Amino acid sequence: MGWFIGLILVALIILAILSSCVKIVPQAHAMIVERLGAYQGTWSVGLHVKMPIIDRIAKRVILKEQVVDFPPQPVITKDNVTMKIDTVVFFQITDPKLYTYGVENPIMAIENLTATTLRNIIGDLELDQTLTSRETINTKMRAALDVATDPWGIKVNRVELKNIIPPAAIQDAMEKQMKAERERRESILRAEGEKRSTILVAEGKKESAILDAEADKESAILRAEAEKEKRIREAEGQAEAILKIQQATAEGIRFIKEAGADDAVLQLKSLEAFAKAADGKATKIIIPSDIQGIAGLVKSVAEVVKDPQKAD
């Protein structure tokens, strides 16, 4: 009975050893295998079996891109301004063997390398350049770190300056400068607005004066045309009146002539025409002699009609 239990225990131990020798490597991972302390190989994705006791898994490596956020590092600019800058590094392990055996504690190595590279780059820049040259600094740091970490099996994909923290006195001075700049821009914009407003008002007055002058001109033209039309109509009316008078006179003469009037009647009509011509306005009228005679005859007839006794 004792040997049976011992056999079962041995079988369980062998099964445990065999199960420990079978490994499954997941996606985007790799395993470094050592045999008797020496590098044996790198396992990629899939099922693998190692030799019991003499083989061991030295390191499990993640092949996905990783992000490391380093704490702020003090740096000094070219114009002797001390500030703190924290960086974010995006890297990926390309060679698990070099990553495992290339450097002790690779993350710390990258952090120290980032700090020294950042100090070297910022030391060549002034404060204003540092604040406005983030993209340039990122590019230079990525290139420097990528070259330095290549022997470690690490590829640096991106480096970003997460935050730049200048001293409090510099921050106050920058805020005052920005405030003064904003006030200056506001003054410029206000002056340009007032200038534009003045120009628009002047242009409006000019346009109004031009329109008024054109309106006055058109009004004068219309008044002149109206006066001209009035005079033409008055002249046409007078001409038409004269024509009608002449026509009426001609008709009267024609009627008298057709009626067979004698010379005396014609002389009387002539006298009436002279009287109408005078119209109380003439100061002197020259009357032909024959009309003067008929006028005396008319006067005599009038006196007879007034005093019949004189006729006797």
130-155 pLDDT, tens digit each? 888 889 999 999 999 999 999 999 99
The whole-number average pLDDT for the span 194-217 is 86
Does the pLDDT value for residue 261 go beyond 60?
Answer: no
The whole-number average pLDDT for the span 43-52 is 87
Considering 95-104, 221-230, 274-283, 300-309, the range whose residues carry the highest mean pLDDT is 95-104
Q: Which residues of the chain form beta strands (DSSP E)?
A: 22-25, 29-35, 38-43, 46-49, 55-62, 66-69, 73-76, 82-93, 154-165
Say what the pLDDT of residue 128 is. 83
60-92 pLDDT, tens digit each? 999 999 999 988 989 988 888 888 998 999 999
Residue 61 CB partners (closer than 8 Å, separation 6+)? 29, 30, 31, 32, 93, 96, 99, 100
Higher pLDDT, 80 or 265: 80
Does the pLDDT value for residue 311 go beyond 50?
Answer: no
Whether the CB-CB separation of 310 and 304 falls below 8 Å is answered with yes
Does the pLDDT value for residue 269 go beyond 70?
Answer: no
Does the pLDDT value for residue 218 go beyond 70?
Answer: yes
Say what the pLDDT of residue 257 is. 65
Distances (CA, A) of 302 to 82, 107, 298: 142, 155, 6
Please tell me whether residue 133 adopts helix, strand or coil conformation. coil
271-309 pLDDT, tens digit each? 565 555 555 554 455 555 554 554 454 444 444 434 544
The domains located in the chain, with CATH, are 2-62 (no CATH), 66-166 (3.30.479.30), 271-312 (no CATH)
CA–CA gap between residue 288 and residue 263 (Å, rounded): 14
